[in-house]
A and B are shown apart, each in its own frame.
Chain A
Amino acid sequence: MFLHMLRGIRNGARLVVVDPRRTLSADVAHTHLPIRVGSDIALANAVGHVIIEEGLENRAFVDNATVGFDSYRELVRRYTPEYAETLTGISAQEIRDLARLYATSPRAMLCWTLGITEHHNATDNVFALTNLSLLTGHVGRPGSGLAPLRGQNNVQGGGDMGALPDRLTGFQHVSDDTRRQRVEAVWGVKIPPVPGKHQTAMMHAMEHGELRSLYVIGENPVQSDADAHRVRRLFEGLDFLVVQDITMTGTARMAHVVLPGSAGWGESSGTITNSERRVQLGHKSFDPPGEARDDCTIVQDVANRMGAAWSYTCSEDIWNEVRAVAPHMFGGMSYERLSQHHGLQWPCPDESHPGSPILHTRLWEPVVEPRVAFAPSEYAPVADTIDDEYPFVLTTGRRLEFFNTGVQTRAYPSARRQEELLMIHPDDAGAYGVRRDELVRVRSRRGEVTLRAGLDPRLSLVCCS
């Protein structure tokens, strides 16, 4: 994805990076705005404020395709660039420049990742950005739009397949009677019309003894979820834990039963959906080692032991069922066509359909029904209060050469340093007596760890990573 952006820059596109750290992306940007952690809504609303104040909004688009402009205008009236400067640390002039650049560009995209979504007000953060695209009409046209950048190859595919508590395959809501009944007809079972629990709600249910058993597939929550002490206690309290994975993860080590699965690439066939909604077909090259088996086969065997009568012989059987339950999305995506076209973008409802490279094009039709609503969202400070006792904001991140909880990267020799480091600005380090490569204790209201320090002049002050 970033290589596409680099090509765009070579072709004359301008890149603004908003990040508390001066990242590699910031190095190639025309402008880097080192924002204070958690103040993104203040910045977005101030950009909206300037756009409206200077009459740079796309009036025709706002009138034809949206509702709720007046309440949005009312909200952002208070977010002057000068006020936003006090919250974000970005100067009022830079905010004005950003607003003018975004609004007056013929095409513009907003791309984001976990800096926007890993917050207690993540949904409001995203709304603040979508409001800007509605205000300027930078949506539903080539070269414009909104793009959450994914951290794995198949994040989109998980949602596509219905791995969400309130959606069936193809994002069909469980409470939609017509859609649910269509899926019930194919599956031959009754589906509860009420949403299930997402991961956070499952933790709460474990806390209250409502959830006693867990079957975890390809996830390492004990080492990836926030407030690790609490998560470990909840998992220790389970009556029964099954983990299906390709290595002995921290979660697998706590399990009563471990089912060795197969790697997504090389050891199993099937589809993934990438960030641009392109469904891609991959083929198995070799068998998984030892007692490890294809995940589909494991799940089918477990289901059949519980009384189901599933008889899928290959991933294509499963995929064709997916097409039957969500024809509006995947109906036209046979294995043959996916192979022939090197992937197709949904929606692709029938076999003559070329796929859909751009979403939301309907917003540019003469009559837009339904229109899209602005979702005014207010700035809110971070949940964990910064005070004299806890004066730093720790913002966790990733390193390019390692992956998530290390399940897939720790077992191999690496030229890179295989050690966690606390990165801190040299000026902050000086003020607190911290020296490079020496041990520091990092303490929050929930726990503490001891590790070596690294100095990084590219970090903002009082922000450590």
Chain B
Amino acid sequence: MTFHFPDQTETNQLTIEATDPIAGTAEFKASAVAIEPVRSEVREPERRRLAVTVGD
């Protein structure tokens, strides 16, 4: 994951603000995460499109 598309995926919601005591740099390179597939859900933009279809 990068931080190139923050409006779409806010990667930094996951990162930890544990910082070096001298430099103040945060530990962007190591966040403990859980990963699970989401098969049943529909993504936000698709859900909006579906809602429009229903409304029409």
Contacts and interface: CB of A to CB of B under 8 A. Distances in A.
Interface in B5-52: 5-39, 41, 43
A200 interface: yes
Contact of B34 (A383, A392, A465): A392
A340 B40 CA distance: 65
B32 A120 contact: no
Contacts of B26: 118, 120, 200, 225-227
Interface in A113-128: 114-115, 117-123
Interface in A421-457: 421-424, 432-435, 438-451, 453
Contacts of A396: 1-3, 11, 15, 28-29, 31
**Interface range on chain B: under 10, 10 to 19, 20 to 34, or 35 or more?**
35 or more
Contacts of A391: 32, 34
A231 B13 CA distance: 9
A327 interface: no
Interface string A380-424: 001111110111111111110011111001100000001111111
Interface in A335-364: none
Contact of A439 (B16, B17, B41): B41
Given A227-B15, A422-B1, A449-B10, A199 B24 contact: yes
Nearest to B15: A226
A376 to B, nearest CB: 15
Contacts, number: 228
B28 to A, nearest CB: 4
A120 B16 CA distance: 9
Interface in A205-240: 223-231
Contacts of B34: 389-392, 442-444
A341 to B, nearest CB: 33
B37 to A, nearest CB: 5
A355 B28 CA distance: 36
Given A228-B12, A383-B18, A433-B37, A390 B32 contact: yes
B39 to A, nearest CB: 7
B16 A442 contact: no
Contacts of A398: 2, 4
A447 B10 CA distance: 9
Given A224-B12, A225-B12, A393-B30, A441 B20 contact: no
Contact of B18 (A120, A228, A397): A120
A229 B13 contact: yes
Interface residues of A, number: 78
Interface string A93-134: 000000000000000000000110111111100000000000
A419 B32 contact: no
Contact of B35 (A230, A397, A434): A434
Nearest to A382: B30
Contact of B13 (A418, A422, A432, A449): A449
B12 A226 contact: yes
B1 A465 contact: yes
A392 B41 contact: no
A114 B30 CA distance: 12
B29 A123 contact: no
B16 A384 contact: yes
Nearest to A454: B1
A227 B17 contact: yes
Contacts of A395: 29-30
A45 B37 CA distance: 39
A405 B24 CA distance: 20
B2 A448 contact: no
B11 A420 contact: yes
Given A120-B20, A382-B30, A419-B5, A223 B10 contact: yes
A250 B5 contact: no
8 contacts: A224-B3, A227-B16, A386-B32, A393-B32, A394-B31, A409-B4, A442-B1, A450-B41
Interface of A: 37-38, 114-115, 117-123, 198-201, 203, 223-231, 250, 382-387, 389-399, 402-406, 409-410, 418-424, 432-435, 438-451, 453, 464-465
Closest 5 CB pairs of A and B: A447-B13, A383-B18, A200-B24, A390-B32, A420-B9
Interface of B: 1-39, 41, 43
Given A383-B27, A402-B2, A446-B14, 4 more contacts: A227-B12, A384-B31, A409-B4, A419-B8
